[in-house]
Structure 1
């Protein structure tokens, strides 16, 4: 099973997103080469995104979500099972994990929800007012600039 995602087709059809694809590829290479836990990244709108992480076997209190500068870290540490009986087969992977995501500039974490074994993190691009484009009005002065009289004109007027 192939766990690496090839961004080449997207690179060919986009302009100016090289840094974004580099960050995604770096994040995929550096975090858990085995791809655990699996996740999806979806775009919900022009400036809103969603990361969904499959964390079956974990409870919400065993997962920690940390947003720091341009990085999102999800850490899962499962509590020890006590009095759960003897397992004949254990197929649900519940090993500890740490998954990191590099976030682009001005991406903020809005919320994190846990439902049916899926952790969903909502992200929003919030561009500060100072960084947004603004229209500059062009002011109109007088139609013709005032003309300064030369010394010769002053003499001619005085005569």
Structure 2
């Protein structure tokens, strides 16, 4: 019964950090939505298109995080069920250890699937960050140098040659 309990604790930690991720995705999507509305009111269609593309990415990211949470919760459910099946075996003295083993293995499978969803979402987040940086600072911002051949200050794009 100890192994499923440890898996429950570990999965619970993953749920907590995933809930933080989804909150950040929601908050950022709300910010971009407000910027999209403001750009539309200004008549800046190019910016509206860019922000709309970003909003689609945020929507997909939220779907991956939501799926990860679903699978983490299913894993916790299966780990709890395996603990209960172990307790039931002890109480009834009916030896069917394959039930608890199957539940733990299925829970571990869901744990792996959820983690894969978060890996995909993390890669999407990194790509979206690169897009946002390129949009704000220009596509070649990270390659710009000043007259002396040093990296230029990206905070002051006007001074960059």
TM-score (norm 2): 0.26
Over alpha carbons, which structure has the higher Rg? 1
Query: Which structure: greater strand fraction?
Result: 1
Query: Which structure: greater helix fraction?
Result: 2
TM-score (norm 1): 0.26
